[in-house]
Amino acid sequence: MRRGGDAQCQIGTMTGLSIQNLSMRFDLPNGSHVQALKDVSLDLQQGELLSVLGPSGCGKTTLLNIVAGFLAPTEGQIVLNGHQVHGPDAERGMVFQKGALFEWMSVRDNVRFGPDMKGMPKSESAEIVDHLLDVVGLQDFKEKMVYELSGGMQQRVALARCLANDPDVILMDEPLGALDALTREKMQSLVLKLWKETGKTIILITHSVDEALLLGERLLVMAPRPGRIHKEYRLPFADMGVGADLREVKEHPDYTKTREEILNMIWNMEEEIMGRTEESA
Amino acid sequence: MGQIFTDLGGELITLLISVISALPYLILYVGLILAAYFLYMQVKRRLSPVRDYTSLKTVTFGDESAVISNKAASVISIVLIFVIWGAFTGSALLPKFLHAPGPFVGEASFTYTVEAEGGQTADATVSVLVHEVGEKPETPVVIENSGSAKNDALVVQAYRSKLLRWDANDEVTRKDGAKIVAVDGQPIDRDTDVEIGFGRVALTDKGTLNFEPAKGWQMESIWLPAPESVWKRLISVSQDGYQNVTLAEHLSYSLFRVIVGFALGAAVGIPLGYAMGLSNWFRGWFDPIVEFMRPVPPLALIPLVIIWAGIGEQGKIILLFLAALWIMAIGARSGVSGVNITKVHAAYSLGANKRQILRHVIIPNSLPEIFTAARVAMGVCWGTVVAAELVAAEKGVGKMIVAASKFQDTDIVLMGIILIGIIGFGIDMLMRWGEKYLVPWKGKA
């Protein structure tokens, strides 16, 4: 309903996502406060894949929740395709780590939840569901209940469900964090494939440096207290990884070098946090 | 205050003594359980052993998943209950050798010794006939004897006792100062009873004899009727009814109250719980009321409900409504509060509005909790309806057993208790089945 909008709402770049001077301050009951985010600005073009990495407490999940519209920032704004974001909306789909599927529905009903809510006729949504389940490789599991599937399969359903709604931006909050290493590798390839095929703008939050390097066309390293952008990279590995073996990408000399650099960066941040906690203790 | 403590202390000691005196029986029962276990293991070893996954586990003690209810043990335990029941009631369903020793029935005799005022003694024999309940046998023929004390005859019903006015036919009487000094040669006085092989003889304050035939180990049917007589009563009551009300009528009245009361409680309680789970204002408004009413047992409300609504259907339904209401409200509330926020967030970012979230996320997500609450509420309602009928009702299974207890129709009381148990169990099975069928995702999130 806000999409398109009237002329007064048109701010910033016309296509793509713009995060402008975002700050988030939580007031605690004891009178103190936590600065979860401080002055975070970022522009994403349509079709870019951004991975966000950082030690715990750097505000990356807060950032994602603000973009999704679950939290209102204390300062700054989010502008998507020229209009300001207020609250959650189907234009910004979200994939969670786990527990976001509806156990009382079959795989098919989960995937067509978005179209159903919009009132799309079943005949129309059936086509979308069939296509997406084909893409994520679950065509044989359409009638199964989601609790009958493995963790990896459930995340495939979550991806398909998000795509079925055809959002402009896909927000992924550690979508592969609960999976085992092998499944995770397969799912990383799937995410890359879906990204290239659909051309969606994706923000992916992860704890894994490898995942951030492999999937992120752009990579954001965030620092804690207050949560802020520490460094940004533009990486070639996501493009290399599309349709290729991710293990080969990992052997690229640049990959190893960047990986070491980022690991050191995060290591130092963690050390600093530890030091500060010990001082205050 | 001190008086209360002394009184309660006394009660406690009495209770402890009862418990200790029951201990040997308890130990005997545990012994039976273990004996049956060893017997079962012996038989099982002889048969071809089952090789399943659990049988290969080396660690079973402490592994909850390795403990599976043993069907054989269940069957043996149920059969044993009926065997014990039959053995101590002299049931015709059991072979005689399994019966506990019954009461003495038959003919026997004992002698008493009278001492006249002068000190001379005389003996007389009492022919005793102990008969079963319902029989009316003839008095045994008394063989005339010489001597100042004449022989007597006594007819007693099993489990009862009878006074013997021994001097009614004797030449020496109590008026003359004669008194009994011994029975079967054993001295007797007011404080000392004499045990004879088939009963006990006591001397009353007035100097007559009181004969009580041996009771054996079996229960009189007024305390505990035999299984078959309970079964016969079930047949007769279900065909002819009890006190002009058929069994079907009693049961349907009770079930009607439970179902209507529960349905009303759920119809109000579930929306109330949702409101409390979804709105600060409603949570704040109803929290004190619900939290106060929840620990009040519904039975405590019976007197108030009778004062307000009388003993008709309305009062019962109000009571059951109140019994179900709080349980259902709390179940629905925790069902709503228990929804994983990521599911709600996911639904919002898939474009759902508030109404759709309620319909497609919150309600289905709360169903397992609501079913659990419904099972609890149904159990509480069933217990409450029986208790309410015990207090005041015209029809209903509780009314039936309380009426029967007033006429000491113990078989009907037992039958009623067994039926109440079976129906309660049936309701729970039905709810569990419904749960499995309607909310198959329960516990799988």
pLDDT tens, position by position, A195-218: 888 888 999 999 888 888 888 889
In the stretch 3-42 of chain A, residues with CB closer than 8 A to chain B read none
- What band does B445 get if pLDDT is binned at 50, 70 and 90? low
Q: Is 50 exceeded by the pLDDT of residue B372? A: yes
* Residue A20 domain-assigned (yes or no): yes
Q: Is 60 exceeded by the pLDDT of residue A5? A: no
* Residue A200 domain-assigned (yes or no): yes
Which chain A residues touch B445 with a CB distance below 8 Å? 99, 103, 147
In this complex, is the C-beta atom of B444 within 8 Å of any C-beta atom belonging to chain A? yes
Residue A122 distance to chain B (closest CA, Å): 16
Which chain B residues touch A168 with a CB distance below 8 Å? none
- Cα–Cα distance measured from residue A248 to residue A236, given in angstroms and rounded to the nearest whole number: 13
pLDDT at A94: 92
Residue A264 distance to chain B (closest CA, Å): 33
Q: What is the pLDDT of residues A238-278, one digit of tens each?
A: 888 887 788 888 888 888 888 898 888 888 888 887 776 66
Average pLDDT score over residue span B349-358: 92
Closest partner residue to B349 (CB to CB) among A92, A101, A118 is A92
The strand pairing partners of B202, in sequence order, are B210
Which chain B residues touch A161 with a CB distance below 8 Å? 346, 350
A120's CB contacts (< 8 A; 6+ apart) are: none
3-class secondary structure per residue, chain B: CHHHHHHHHHHHHHHHHHHHHHHHHHHHHHHHHHHHHHHHHHHHHHCCCCCCCHHHCCCCCCCHHHCCCCHHHHHHHHHHHHHHHHHCCCCCCCCHHHCCCCCCCEEEEEEEEEECCCCCEEEEEEEEEEECCCCCCCCCCCCCCCCCCCCEEEEEECCCCEEECHHHCCCCCHHHCCEEEEECCEECECCECEEECCEEEEECCCCCEEEEECCCCCCCCCCCCCHHHHHHHHHHHHHHCECCECHHHHHHHHHHHHHHHHHHHHHHHHHHHHHHHHCHHHHHHHHHHHHHHCCCCHHHHHHHHHHHHCCCHHHHHHHHHHHHHHHHHHHHHHHHHCCCHHHHHHHHHCCCCHHHHHHHHHHHHHHHHHHHHHHHHHHHHHHHHHHHHHHCCCCCHHHHHHHHHHCCCHHHHHHHHHHHHHHHHHHHHHHHHHHHHHCCCCCCC
Closest partner residue to A93 (CB to CB) among B349, B365, B441 is B349
How much is the pTM?
0.82
Which chain B residues touch A165 with a CB distance below 8 Å? 350-351
Task: State how many domains chain A has.
Answer: 1
Closest partner residue to B350 (CB to CB) among A69, A113, A171 is A113
* Residue A72 domain-assigned (yes or no): yes
- Pick the residue of B340, B348, B349, B370 with the most A CBs within 10 A to test the interface with A by mutation: B349
Q: Is 60 exceeded by the pLDDT of residue B377? A: yes
Q: Is 60 exceeded by the pLDDT of residue A3? A: no
Percent of chain A with pLDDT over 70: 93
Q: What is the pLDDT of residues B221-262, one digit of tens each?
A: 888 999 999 999 999 998 888 888 899 999 999 999 999 999
How far from the centroid of its chain's Cα atoms is residue B29's Cα? Answer: 18
Q: Is 50 exceeded by the pLDDT of residue A9? A: no
- Amino acid in the structure at residue B200: R
Average pLDDT score over residue span B127-146: 82
* Residue A122 domain-assigned (yes or no): no
Range of the domain at A30: 7-91+167-280
* Residue A73 domain-assigned (yes or no): yes
Q: What is the pLDDT of residues A29-80, one digit of tens each?
A: 888 888 888 888 889 888 889 999 988 778 888 899 999 999 999 999 899 8
* Residue A121 domain-assigned (yes or no): no
- Amino acid in the structure at residue A281: A
pLDDT at B168: 82
In this complex, is the C-beta atom of A178 within 8 Å of any C-beta atom belonging to chain B? no
CB contact under 8 A, A104 and B367: yes
Residue B268 distance to chain A (closest CA, Å): 25
Pick from A152, A175, A155: nearest CA to A61: A175
ipTM of the shown complex: 0.89
Q: Is 50 exceeded by the pLDDT of residue A7? A: no
* Residue A57 domain-assigned (yes or no): yes
* Residue A128 domain-assigned (yes or no): no
Average pLDDT of chain B is 89
- What band does A4 get if pLDDT is binned at 50, 70 and 90? very low
Question: What is the side-by-side order of every strand in the sheet holding A83-84?
Answer: A33-44, A17-27, A75-80, A83-84
Higher pLDDT, B142 or A146: A146
Residue A37 distance to chain B (closest CA, Å): 21
- Pick the residue of A113, A155, A159 with the most B CBs within 10 A to test the interface with B by mutation: A113
Q: What is the pLDDT of residues B322-343, one digit of tens each?
A: 999 999 999 999 999 988 899 9
Q: Is 50 exceeded by the pLDDT of residue A95? A: yes
Q: What is the pLDDT of residues B393-440, one digit of tens each?
A: 888 999 999 999 999 899 999 999 999 999 999 999 999 999 999 888
Q: Is 60 exceeded by the pLDDT of residue A1? A: no
In 3-state terms, what secondary structure has residue A229? strand
Lowest mean pLDDT among B21-25, B121-125, B349-353: B121-125
Average pLDDT score over residue span A3-21: 61
In the stretch 64-123 of chain A, residues with CB closer than 8 A to chain B read 68-70, 87-90, 92-94, 96, 98-104, 113-114, 117-118
For residue A13, give the CATH number of its domain.
3.40.50.300
